[in-house]
Structure 1
Amino acid sequence: MRQLTDIVDLISKVNNQAHHHCGYAGTETEEIHGTLLTDFSDLPLEESLVFSCENGKVKGVLGLAYDQKTHTGELWGPFISDNGNLESALSLWKQLLNQLSNVPEKVYGFYNVHNELGQSFMESLGAKRKKDQSILAIHKDAFQIKTNSDLSIKEVTESDHELFKVLHDEAFPETYYDAKMIIDKLDGENKLFIAHKDDNFLGYAYCEANPEYGEGDLHYLAVIPEARNHGTGSSLIQKSLEFMFSFHEIHEITLCVEAGNQGAVRAYKRAGFIEKHILAFYEVAVMR
């Protein structure tokens, strides 16, 4: 795509501003460029990304990260320069739909609560607003290793699979990774940690290290009801952070949690996380 550099520059510039910010698209040019080229969509980039120009300059961008398995997509944008408006965003959406070879059944959008254009765009498409999401982050300098000698925190084994699946399905019934997808993704950079006490399954944490871009993500944390408020979640957080920060390239770790889940938010803040954004989460059924 000939204009890719200009597209990346616009996304980076716009996404660093709260009133334009779209969740999960990234803010650093190198990361955005790498994601678009290698890990953006199951459809070709030429189908998954549209842009508008004015006087030869890229002024608006809208992308769709399409998932072939679930027939869903996550929106990147609309990213529009300051003089853009809702009409510009809807024009990009129409252009995107017209060029997709596979139209998703559902599309998700995550917009900073200060991003009025993004939210108006979703509402114009008839989207339903789901539960707001809090994005929290911790820097390596703020991390201190703590241990709970009563618990065993280890990588998942096959004997844990069924109990993990049951808890994951209960804790996250409508989520982007189901239990099988998590297990299939496990490797040297993606880890699933299990908490035990006296050989009893208490909970899990799933995290992904991305040393290439100096980042790590704690995607899931869940503890059985009987083990809550006893330090189990904190120990799982600690183990996940210790693993991800073991990569010298990683200096910051982020996670997403429902903003209304104040117990979880407090637990992460006790571990050293700070809140960076609150995202309005939208879901829309696509009508072509």
Structure 2
Amino acid sequence: MYPIEIRQAKKADLDQIAHWIARLNALSAHQCLHCDETYEGVRNGIAALGESPETFFVMAGRGEGLVGVLGCDCSEEDGWLWGPFVEDSDWEAVTSDLFHRLMDVLPNMVRTLHTFTGLANPRSHRFYLAEGFEETKTSHIYTALPPDEQQEPKNLCGEFEAHHRAAVVALHELAFPGTPMTMPEIIARLDDDHKLFVCTNGDEVLGYLYATLNDAPVEGFIEFLAVQPEARGQGSGKRLLSTAMHWFFQVKRMPQAGLCVLDERTNAQALYEQVGFRLSYSGVGAKKQL
């Protein structure tokens, strides 16, 4: 058997990497939920990594053949791992070599690594735990397609305005304590592809929804949804979701919408299903401080 050769990817390797990831990520035993499972989706995701995306991938080969790929989507201090995507009889050794080579080439600014592996891929999850990652929580990815007949929804929520700031900051801290993305950071990102919808009753803020447009996969994505505790069960969440779906499908003409919900939030899952979302994937996360 040829020895394993580990190297950083080159720009000329990116097409092969995309085909490799798409093929393995379509198999539940290899599934990583940080990246797409189609060639086009993976290529879009790679393109979104910047001018030199090859610097975020390492490859493993035996002789002339590719046997493994591991990548990382880096954003400031966080890195979201793609893989491992390894097909070799010595899976553990190849995966370990890829991981440690990737650690050598990651930007110094990355301080936290995140993984999100499918529940049918426990081997990858166990590998990361053995490398010092801490398990986070089980989550579910839901997707929705445009309705066959699109009707103008009634009572849409408005977009964020400056006088909402104090209320949405307080609600975000209450609903998502310790989340890496603060409400001031969300507000700073708002533009044509990033919207913060706010549900109100007069001057009172009942809830908010932060929605974005993604490239890989091409979809509208609901990042955060929160409703004041005293306003829950009164239709505010459904109204916010209907507003986001209208923006995704009728304004932006997106081919699908997506969201990720924690396993423990069963009430939220039922709400998402009411507006057309269906369960697509389930996975478990882990993270490591560098």
- How high is the TM-score relative to the length of structure 2? 0.89
Distance (Å, rounded) in 2 between the aligned partners of 1:20 and 1:266: 29
- Pick one of 25, 28, 38 that aligns with 1:18: 28
Structure 2 equivalent of residue 116 of structure 1: 122
Q: Secondary structure of 1:102's partner?
A: coil
Q: State whether residues 136 and 287 of structure 2, in contact with CA within 8 Å, keep that contact through their aligned partners in structure 1.
A: yes
1:40 aligns with 2:49: yes
1:54 aligns with 2:62: yes
1:1-288 mapped onto 2 (5 Å cutoff): 1-37=11-47, 39-40=48-49, 44-68=52-76, 71-81=77-87, 83=89, 85-102=91-108, 104-141=110-147, 147=153, 149=155, 153-210=157-214, 214-247=218-251, 249-286=253-290
Q: CA deviation at 1:263?
A: 0.4
Structure 1 equivalent of residue 5 of structure 2: none
Q: CA deviation at 1:211?
A: 7.4
Q: CA deviation at 1:95?
A: 0.8
Distance (Å, rounded) in 1 between the aligned partners of 2:113 and 2:153: 41
Q: Secondary structure of 1:243's partner?
A: helix
Q: State whether residues 47 and 96 of structure 1, in contact with CA within 8 Å, keep that contact through their aligned partners in structure 2.
A: no
Distance (Å, rounded) in 2 between the aligned partners of 1:263 and 1:47: 42
Distance (Å, rounded) in 2 between the aligned partners of 1:219 and 1:34: 20
1:59-110 deviations in Å (ceiling 9; x for gaps) = 2111122232xx2211111111264622211110111112234163221100
Distance (Å, rounded) in 1 between the aligned partners of 2:52 and 2:282: 31
**Paired AA for residue 94 in structure 2:** S
Cα distance change of structure 1 residues 18 and 142 upon mapping to structure 2, 3 Å threshold: farther
Distance (Å, rounded) in 1 between the aligned partners of 2:221 and 2:64: 37
Q: State whether residues 88 and 94 of structure 2, in contact with CA within 8 Å, keep that contact through their aligned partners in structure 1.
A: no
Q: CA deviation at 1:208?
A: 1.1
Identical counterparts, % of pairs: 25
**Count of residues in correspondence between the two structures:** 280
**Paired AA for residue 198 in structure 2:** I
**Paired AA for residue 86 in structure 2:** I
| RMSD over aligned Cα atoms | 2.3
Distance (Å, rounded) in 1 between the aligned partners of 2:214 and 2:154: 27
Distance (Å, rounded) in 1 between the aligned partners of 2:87 and 2:188: 40
**Paired AA for residue 60 in structure 1:** G
Distance (Å, rounded) in 2 between the aligned partners of 1:143 and 1:258: 30
1:128-170 deviations in Å (ceiling 9; x for gaps) = 1111111001111368658565xx6100001111211111122
